[in-house]
């Protein structure tokens, strides 16, 4: 009873003051407990397998965390598209741009999104396939702090589709020195100075990266973050020492190794991740990042280990006195070549010569010329121009060929091989932009099969350089290596010798080899005399690559190299011609006889059977507008951007337009009605004519399909003559191929929204005018007023005064003097039998969704809906 009595006394109601005091005490205790566990101020932060103090160069001493790899969580990423989703802080953030640069250099497709905080996550799936095979966060905290809905959505996607995540943690002045990563058994220690980085040789991530000795010295920056965890899911990839013991409070870890890059094996939550404790400023981070992309995508986004390099030495025999090779330089060239062949199979310097300048140096340099020719069979040789002139300055092909013949004769007289099939033009003149005379002369005199240039599509950024094939000659991208004609002394290198070493050792030159399966390097004769910077550069580059990577370096002759290139990148065979006047470098090496004013500023793109020929005629009546010359094959249409004519080049295209005079300001235009639904025309046109205006004419796709069928019947198409319209449009996959082809030409151009969307991906909406084909047929003057406003012509013509309706033809024609008319040919305006109701019903249902999407697109463009589209939409309700 005594115990019960005491319990009753304790349970008596407490006064309000006592209750408030107890609540305050409870809150204070809770805050301290939370801080203790959240920030780890007094918490032990070391891994259970404590890192021992080690000498990183001692192979006998291995940190205890460098254990054999644990079992990885199996994942299946085969159900995803080969697309990387990159969440960036902004479109211009430095780290985001560096990530994108590596993806672009590797030719991996990607999509960027501004990292959402609480916004919507982009659509991750398309039916039963994942849209992305890898997720990258420029700022890891944007992933960690996602709102619950989006975080669950993303994590569930990653688990289901086997998609990994790469994240970067970049500390700043506001970062906590030590903290647990929210939701993960992982601790971060930030704002550290680090030194002496090593690679975990047991990391399952490594592919290109080779575990080697330490990268001695301080790592760049004082804002490093290291990772610590006792959970078995985390494995270190890169480790480094702290600069001083005070870097991590409460821990005497001066000599211990800490993970700067950590791999999450997915044992915690089913998602594999690679986390970086800094950005990509450190070259080893770039190397490991490439391996992380490869590993997390199951090597679906990965380059092979094979690397092909070719070192060109331009300007052999060319150069001022004092800059050329002497006998000792030539001997060093051969000795270095033999030395490098031990590490790079078949390594051979490729020498480009201009024979006119043989023996034009000092006596010692002339002796060097002689010794070089005595070693003629030790090297590969290719022709420059005889007089080192730029080919685009030669407008007469025969004169250009004569120059090449002189160089060939020099080669023959001195025993220089002439069968390598490779040539390089001085200053890359004539290769791109294409000088037709150069390609023809090369083939005629030298039987050239391969060349290279740094100008396609532009000099910078270098990662965009690609190859192409033109007129039977394979054009490969050429790379710079930090050496130019004036860089001949080590201590006088721009920015100091340290800059050259930085380029070689993990810098731009190293990254070129890392990210390009094939690299042709441009050097010059002057780089191999004096301090022989060319030899220094490539000896050290190859040493560095073999020290830090598993890449397999080798060299192939130019023709074999080009064949290998287009085996790897077959999609690059077709060129993309660009406006030479948009790039000053291109304009400088383009013939002065050519002008970009000869390009059209307006394209009528179709589709076929919508009234494009009538519009072409009406535009030609305007005094400020000039159409192209007719083609002998395709009449008023050039059909350049959509077919085989494109490979004839821009010189061929320009021949269809007049040479502009100083007194005319005509706006040139062309009409090719099959541009509209072409899969390649929009991209090609935008590259060459980025500022052009585009006009498309749309009629009811049902009527367009029927008109095309009847057009084919009128031209005696045997398929159209044999099968009814309904049979053609309803044919199934088992129908004869010729029926399916006709079906496609009837139906596919009517997917208006699909094709218009493609054009809008290359041209701004204010550059595109959509015309109502029915209105053009009934009230052409009204439509032409709209067209003139769109084109911005100074002289607005009243087409009511120059057009007349021809009742016999049934359409509007050009009004001539004396009341006569000039109309389109007999093939235009034909009268066809009425379409059967079954076909119209089928097509109305077939085009319903396409028309709905078209209406949305036109609304988005701010353009009026054609009357026929309004009617069709009303019929769908």
Which residues lie across from 455 on neighbouring strands?
none
The kind and range of the H/E element at 649 are none
Q: Residue 442 has what DSSP assignment? A: I
State the Cα–Cα distance between residues 152 and 146, nearest whole angstrom.
9
Residue whose C-alpha is closest to residue 565's, from 458, 484, 479:
479
**Active-site residue, 609 included:** yes
State the Cα–Cα distance between residues 359 and 366, nearest whole angstrom.
5
- The edge-to-edge listing of strands for the beta sheet with 821-822 is 803-806, 811-815, 821-822
Within 380-517, strands assigned E span: 380-383, 450-453, 468-470, 473-479
Query: Can you tell me whether residue 677 is helix, strand or coil?
Result: coil
Residue found by looking up tokens 């396609």 in the block: 456
Query: Can you tell me whether residue 21 is helix, strand or coil?
Result: helix
User: 490 with 522: CB under 8 angstroms?
Assistant: no
Radius of gyration of the chain (CA): 35
State the Cα–Cα distance between residues 282 and 225, nearest whole angstrom.
13
Query: Can you tell me whether residue 264 is helix, strand or coil?
Result: strand
Residue whose C-alpha is closest to residue 51's, from 252, 276, 337:
252
State the Cα–Cα distance between residues 519 and 556, nearest whole angstrom.
11
CA atoms within 13 A on the CB side of 679: 1
Which residues lie across from 111 on neighbouring strands?
85
Pairs from 867-873 (Cβ < 8 Å, separation ≥ 24): 867/772, 867/774, 867/775, 868/699, 868/700, 868/703, 868/772, 868/774, 869/698, 869/700, 872/700, 872/844, 872/847, 872/848
Query: Can you tell me whether residue 827 is helix, strand or coil?
Result: coil
DSSP string of 137-177?
A: ESSHHHHHT--HHHHHHHHHHHHHHT-EEEEE----TTS-S
The kind and range of the H/E element at 781 are helix 780-791
Residue whose C-alpha is closest to residue 438's, from 389, 392, 386:
392
User: 72 with 272: CB under 8 angstroms?
Assistant: yes
User: 134 with 163: CB under 8 angstroms?
Assistant: yes
Residue found by looking up tokens 């090496």 in the block: 589
Cβ-count burial of 457 within 10 angstroms (0-12 exposed, 13-18 middle, 19+ buried)? Answer: middle
State the Cα–Cα distance between residues 520 and 95, nearest whole angstrom.
28
Point out the catalytic residue in the list 356, 609, 671, 693.
609
Buried b (16+ CB within 10 A) or exposed e, 168-190: bbbbeeebebbebbeebebbbbb
Q: Rounded to the nearest 10 degrees, how much is the dihedral formed by the CA atoms of 237, 242, 245, 248? A: -60
User: 779 with 616: CB under 8 angstroms?
Assistant: no
C-alpha distances out from residue 572 to 56, 464, 743, Å:
45, 12, 31
CA atoms within 13 A on the CB side of 177: 12
Tokens of 403: 């120059």
Catalytic residues: 609
């Amino acid at each position: 009873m005594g115990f019960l009595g005491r319990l009753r006394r304790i349970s008596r109601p407490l006064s309000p003051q006592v209750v408030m005091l107890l609540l305050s005490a409870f809150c204070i205790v809770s805050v301290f407990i939370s801080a203790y566990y959240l920030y780890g101020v007094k918490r032990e932060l070391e891994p259970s397998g404590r890192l021992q103090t080690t000498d990183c160069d001692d192979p006998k001493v291995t940190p205890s965390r460098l254990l054999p790899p644990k079992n990885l969580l199996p994942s299946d990423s085969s159900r995803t598209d080969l697309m990387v989703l990159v969440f960036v802080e902004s479109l211009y953030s430095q780290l985001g741009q560096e990530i994108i640069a590596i993806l672009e250099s590797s030719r991996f497709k990607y999509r960027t999104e501004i990292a959402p905080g609480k916004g919507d996550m982009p659509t991750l799936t398309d039916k039963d396939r994942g849209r992305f095979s890898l997720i990258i966060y420029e700022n890891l905290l944007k992933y960690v702090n996602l709102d619950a809905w989006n975080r669950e959505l993303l994590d569930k996607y990653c688990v289901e589709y086997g998609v990994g995540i790469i994240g970067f943690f970049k500390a700043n002045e506001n970062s906590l020195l030590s903290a647990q990563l929210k939701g993960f058994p992982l601790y971060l220690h930030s704002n550290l100075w680090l030194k002496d980085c090593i690679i975990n040789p047991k990391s399952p991530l490594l592919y290109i990266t080779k575990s080697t000795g330490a990268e001695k010295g301080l790592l760049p920056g004082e804002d490093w973050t290291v990772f610590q965890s006792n959970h078995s899911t985390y494995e270190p990839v890169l480790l480094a020492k702290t600069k001083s013991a005070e870097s991590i409070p409460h821990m005497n870890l001066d000599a211990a190794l800490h993970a700067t890059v950590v791999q999450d094996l997915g044992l915690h939550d089913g998602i594999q991740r690679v986390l970086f404790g800094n950005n990509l400023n450190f070259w080893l981070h770039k190397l490991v990042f490439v391996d992380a992309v490869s590993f997390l995508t199951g090597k679906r986004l990965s380059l092979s280990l094979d690397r092909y390099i070719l070192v060109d030495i331009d300007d052999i025999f060319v150069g001022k006195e004092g800059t050329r090779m002497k006998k000792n330089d030539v001997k060093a060239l051969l000795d270095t070549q033999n030395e490098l062949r031990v590490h790079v199979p078949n390594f051979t310097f490729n020498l480009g010569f201009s024979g006119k300048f043989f023996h034009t140096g000092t006596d010692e340099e002339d002796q060097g010329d002689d010794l070089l020719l005595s070693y003629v069979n030790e090297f590969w040789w290719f022709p420059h121009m005889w007089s080192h002139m730029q080919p685009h300055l030669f407008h007469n092909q025969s004169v250009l060929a004569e120059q090449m013949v002189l160089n060939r004769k020099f080669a023959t007289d001195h025993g220089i091989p002439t069968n390598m099939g490779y040539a390089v033009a001085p200053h890359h003149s004539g290769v791109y932009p294409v000088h037709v005379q150069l390609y023809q002369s090369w083939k005629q005199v030298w039987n050239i099969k391969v060349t290279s240039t740094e100008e396609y599509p532009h000099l910078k950024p270098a990662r965009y350089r690609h190859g192409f094939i033109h007129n039977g000659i394979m054009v490969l991208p050429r790379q710079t290596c930090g050496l130019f004609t004036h860089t001949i002394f080590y201590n006088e290198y721009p920015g100091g010798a340290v800059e050259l070493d930085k380029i070689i050792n993990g810098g731009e030159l190293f990254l070129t080899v890392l990210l390009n399966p094939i690299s042709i390097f441009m050097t010059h004769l002057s780089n191999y005399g004096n301090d022989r910077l060319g030899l220094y550069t490539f000896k050290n580059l190859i040493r560095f690559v073999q020290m830090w990577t598993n890449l397999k370096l080798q060299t192939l002759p130019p023709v074999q190299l080009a064949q290998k290139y287009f085996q790897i990148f077959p999609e690059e065979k077709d060129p993309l011609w660009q406006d030479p006047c948009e790039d000053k470098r291109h304009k400088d090496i383009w013939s002065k006889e050519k002008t970009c004013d000869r390009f059209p500023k307006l394209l009528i793109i179709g589709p076929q059977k919508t009234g494009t020929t009538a519009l072409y005629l009406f535009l030609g009546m305007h005094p400020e507008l000039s159409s192209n010359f007719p083609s002998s094959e395709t009449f008023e249409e050039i059909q350049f951007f959509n077919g085989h004519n494109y490979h004839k080049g821009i010189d061929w295209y320009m021949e269809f337009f007049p040479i502009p005079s100083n007194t005319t300001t005509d706006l040139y235009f062309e009409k090719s009605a099959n541009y509209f639904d072409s899969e390649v025309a929009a991209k090609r046109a935008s590259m060459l004519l980025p500022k052009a205006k585009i006009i498309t004419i749309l009629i009811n796709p049902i009527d367009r399909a029927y008109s095309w069928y009847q057009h084919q019947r009128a031209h005696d198409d045997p398929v159209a003559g044999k099968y009814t319209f309904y049979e053609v449009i309803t044919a199934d996959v088992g129908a004869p191929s010729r029926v399916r082809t006709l079906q496609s030409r009837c139906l596919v151009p009517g997917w208006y929204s699909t094709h218009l969307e493609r054009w809008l991906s290359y041209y701004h909406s204010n550059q595109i005018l959509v015309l109502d084909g029915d209105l053009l047929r009934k009230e052409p003057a009204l439509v032409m007023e709209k067209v003139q406003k769109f084109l911005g012509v100074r002289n607005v013509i009243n087409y009511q005064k120059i057009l007349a309706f021809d009742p016999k033809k049934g359409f509007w024609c050009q009004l001539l003097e004396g009341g006569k008319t000039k109309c389109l040919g007999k093939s235009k305006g034909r009268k066809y039998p009425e379409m059967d109701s079954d076909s119209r019903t089928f097509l109305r249902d077939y085009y319903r969704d396409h028309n709905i999407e078209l209406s949305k697109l036109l609304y988005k463009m701010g353009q009026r809906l054609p009357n026929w589209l309004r009617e069709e939409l009303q019929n769908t309700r």
